[in-house]
């Protein structure tokens, strides 16, 4: 959990292209993480766009069309806690792949099953 809390600041800074302390959807999707390539290869770019919008909406806590770092931190922490099934403060590979919201949404968009990361 501590690693995730430190990590979110770097992730936010990497997405905040304008450096204004807020991330809008275009900034969020500009930091792609390789998922759009896989979605295109799988013939599912529309599903990827939908999944991206859903994740952004979860992280845009007040629905104003932009994420702030505290809002993103809150959302990632909630995602982590939801995924941490055994409540040990760490995510196993299975917990991360099958329970962390961003990964679950992207895997669904790509049509990947819950078997493991090797499929994508």
At residue 119, the pLDDT reads 47
Q: What is the mean pLDDT of residues 51-55?
A: 90
For residue 13, give both structure tokens: 């800074």
Q: Taking phi first (over 0 means left), then psi (-120 to 50 degrees means alpha), and beta for anything else, what does residue 89 get?
A: left
pLDDT grade for 116, boundaries at 50, 70 and 90: very low
Compare 109 and 113 and report the one with higher pLDDT.
109
DSSP state of 70: H
Domain ranges for the chain, please list them. 2-114
At residue 77, the pLDDT reads 87
Least confident of 6-15, 56-65, 75-84: 6-15
Which CATH architecture fits 2-114?
A: Orthogonal Bundle (1.10)
At residue 95, the pLDDT reads 93
pLDDT at 92 over 50: yes
Gap between the Cα atoms of 32 and 97, Å rounded: 18
Strand partners, 67: 23
pLDDT at 4 over 80: no
């Amino acid at each position: 959990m501590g690693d995730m809390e430190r990590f979110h600041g770097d992730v936010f800074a990497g997405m905040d292209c304008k450096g204004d302390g807020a991330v809008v959807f275009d900034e969020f999707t500009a930091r792609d993480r390789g998922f759009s390539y896989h979605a295109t290869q799988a013939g599912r770019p529309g599903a990827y766009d939908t999944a991206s919008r859903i994740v952004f909406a979860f992280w845009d806590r007040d629905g104003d069309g932009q994420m702030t770092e505290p809002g993103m931190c809150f959302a990632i922490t909630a995602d982590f806690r939801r995924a941490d099934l055994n409540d040990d403060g760490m995510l196993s590979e299975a917990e991360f792949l099958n329970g962390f919201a961003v990964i679950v949404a992207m895997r669904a968009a790509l049509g990947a099953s819950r078997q493991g990361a090797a499929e994508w």
